[in-house]
Amino acid sequence: MSSITEPGSVGIVETKYFTFAEPPNELQLESGKKLGPITLAYEMYGEMNEDKSNCILILHALSGDAHVAGKHHPDDRKPGWWDSMVGPGKAFDTTKYCVICSNVIGGCKGSTGPSSIDPATGKPYGLRFPIVTIADMVNAQKHLIDHLGIKQLFCVVGGSMGGMQALQWAVSYPDMVKLAIPIATTARLSAQAIAFNAVGRHAIMADPNFAGGDYYGKQIPSAGLRIARMIGHITYLSDKSMHRKFGRGLQDKTAPSYDFGTEFQVESYLNYQGDEFVKRFDANSYLYITKAMDYFDLSQPSGDLKKELSRVKAAFLVISFSSDWLFPPYMSKEIVTALRRNNVDVTYTEIQSDYGHDAFLLETDTLTNLIVNFLEYADQRDNGF
């Protein structure tokens, strides 16, 4: 990692890679299948203290990756996806904490996924890649954390699918998680969310270029992936934010054209989001990651969320957003209620915001205040104050 290039920046960062689960020690997946070898792409910011007790694991959402903060090259257009929250003096202060983030298995940004080479065939896995779950993603991350010599994570934190992983970490490895911050998330996906994911997958698989998932080295199913992203992106916004940003405004026109071209500003915006997504994301990864989200249900196998959360030991800060209709506040409250019934130390905040689900990426100031206070309180409590 280079020296800081501007105030609050972690500077130029480098993605690292960790490979494990070499045969015959493959990772056992929830589906019953095995996967290996596995490579995880990850990034680290800040320095570990002597006993490695200051490590924070940030967990990314569906379209995220390991690149949370900083830039890979000085001429990069954009920094990491949560750059506003990670760095010197920010919510996750890299002068105090060592921040880690890895790309999930099933992803397409350096970690083993359907676009990776299957050692059995020498070709990309495609749909021969096994189905993975949120728990599988966390179990893979556990191997990375062990490799780094970390006995307990000071905090696990993430928004959306990242929040699911944070919850899973606290359940699967209770002794390894001191603090957990699930943001704009849920303990189980709703029928509505599963439906949106299903439509996105159908759009991809109906693309003539999908070729049963074996499109690598050929024309990619860009039209299907583009539609999937457009559908998904609508769920990340809110009615109020879309009205404020676009209204019924026409794109470079003062009157309708009375045809089926792109006319409204909101249409142009969705087209742009779809086009940009196709440039950086693999269609098969979209299938696998959305399916992992669909399967996520922390109330299982008993069907009782309180019972399944009874073994957690972390203190929690649970955050929701008032206009989030993908994972509305009642879902966070359900988590909070189950935790409180288990006498877990939990703080809950519903942030008033018009940004919808995307608020976890945009409400920087409010999130920073909440998170800094939560982390500092934990430090003070440990020091006997």
> What is each CA distance from 195 to 86, 325, 358, in whole angstroms?
33, 14, 19
3-state secondary structure of 357: helix
* Contact (Cβ atoms closer than 8 angstroms) between residue 281 and residue 121: no
Q: Which residues are catalytic?
A: 160, 324, 357
Single-letter amino acid code for the residue at 230 = M
How many CB atoms neighbour CB 106 within 10 A? 28
Q: Cα-atom radius of gyration of the chain, to the nearest Å?
A: 21
Which residues is 124 bridged to in the sheet? Answer: 117
- Please give the Cα distance from 225 to 45 (Å, whole number): 32
* Contact (Cβ atoms closer than 8 angstroms) between residue 312 and residue 156: no
**In the Cβ-directed half-sphere of 338, how many Cα atoms lie within 13 Å?**
23
**Mutual angle of helices 265-280 and 222-236, in 10-degree steps:** 120
- Please give the Cα distance from 178 to 153 (Å, whole number): 6
**In the Cβ-directed half-sphere of 135, how many Cα atoms lie within 13 Å?**
15
In the block, which residue shows the tokens 């792409």?
41
> What is each CA distance from 242 to 1, 110, 202, 267, in whole angstroms?
38, 33, 26, 11
